[in-house]
Structure 1
Amino acid sequence: MTSTTSSPALDAVALVEEIADLVRENYVFPDVARQLADLLQRRSAEDSYRTESAEELAEAVTADLRSVNGDLHLGLKYHAVPVPPERGAAVLAAVRREFDTFLNGVPRVELLDGGVAVLEIGPKLFPLDWAAQPLTAALSLVAPARGLILDLRRNTGGDPNTVAFVCAYLLDGRTHLNTMVSPKDEVGAQSWTPSFVPGARFGGSKPLYVLTSGDTFSGGEELAYDLQQLKRAEVVGEVTRGGAHPREGWTLHPHLELGVPIARAVNPVSGTNWEGVGVRPDVPCDAGEALDRALELALARLA
């Protein structure tokens, strides 16, 4: 599939040169950034990116960008629908379509046996200014439950501020979740749960289980990892994909957006994060069996 006829001609050489410069200037690991920029320029000089297809170029460049350290947040993404030129706007436009389709990010709230509730958050932890109201409603609804199962099996990422917002309903008191460290910020920006949330809290003492799958990624992983490291929840299911680096996006062509990780998360408990290794469940099982397994655990604990 090629880009639409209304789009400008694809100048692969110029695009790859721009990508190399952006990676060199912004990627979270400067040494790796230089390796990747050199690799792209060398491959371009070898005519490895000769194509008129935006989709083919995205696949080739992404494969090379991930060839050094396997960073799944680093890549050139093809968008079939033309995207806005503003920085970060490409992903935001795609995420907005998902928000409107999946009940504002809360596709399931249900009371199960024994007073245990299940709350699914997905397919994203959407930007907090969009998601605060539906999340407040859902989290307040499950607050009286005797136990809670948080289903993140289909959650593929999202906003760290939304992660902190959700955690605030599941913890008692303001809590340090992680610190974002980047080459451009020696101190690091800390992420804490807000001291106040609207609605009722589930709180920090009742049984809590988090479901994961091999598809759980990025912000979904952060939510599972934060609660696990704080000993607040047991993670049930499969090892997650392993993407811990927040990214920024640059639209380089109406159908192409470059995503570059600009920082790394450092958890205050573990001193590290889940990059490349994923969140490892406390109770490993197939994702399809995770809900039943978590419910068994919750009922046994409540008994």
Structure 2
Amino acid sequence: MTRFSFLRYLFVFLLLFSFLPVVFSQLLYGQEQTQIRVLAYNIHHANPPSLPDSIDLPAIARVIRESGADLVALQEVDVRTSRSGKSVHQAEALAELTGMYFYFSRSISFQGGEYGNAILSRYPIETSEKIPLSTEEGTEPRALLLATVALPTGQKVLFAATHLDFSNPEITARQARDITGKLKNQPMPVILAGDFNATPGSRAINELDGYFQRTCVESCPPTIPVINPDKTIDFIFYSRNKTVEVIHHEVIQETYASDHLPVLATLAW
């Protein structure tokens, strides 16, 4: 064999070898690996803690854009309130500033407008739904938002966003049970994100851990307060037994825009 022939065969062998991971992935999963970036962010109605009387939606939008998120769960969103602007629909404005689709649902009426949760998606939202969660008289109503999202691969994901009660751990645990009861038998892959007002080891998080996997398992960095954070209450969960892999989990150290640090995770399946 000549040197040229040997090099040619070597090149062909290396080329084929480089495609083996893709081939095995397609044989195993039926398609190439899909990745999606998810952000959980309590935006504090876009009020920077250092500027008590101000609203800075562009700062929130910048955090979302720079994160590269495909799906975003937002909490504490104002719509046409006195404090944030009677003409301002914060979810719609953030969708325009980030080039994303949105779904907003009210938790309460507030200052002549609405206050609640929102979902942003880089991909079209095919269906959306609000599920009321357990509550007690005198506490703020809470809800689970659901959005069916179609990815570019054709695969569909159920994205769920929530903000649980902070006043009573028993109510928070009941709300977590409401969520697992609704989502545990979903045939689609489920991603659940938000502000759970509960820490690892609490009844609420233990309930969710029983049915879902957290993107941070052994070590979940703290998410509040933004300066010297010492408490972890913002999480991203995903379906067990769905061949999902966590590529990356990060608490973004953004200390200006909100009183919570945003949580970012990259998932692949």
TM-score (norm 2): 0.32
Instruction: Please identify which structure carries the higher helix content.
Output: 1
TM-score (norm 1): 0.29
Instruction: Please identify which structure carries the higher strand content.
Output: 2
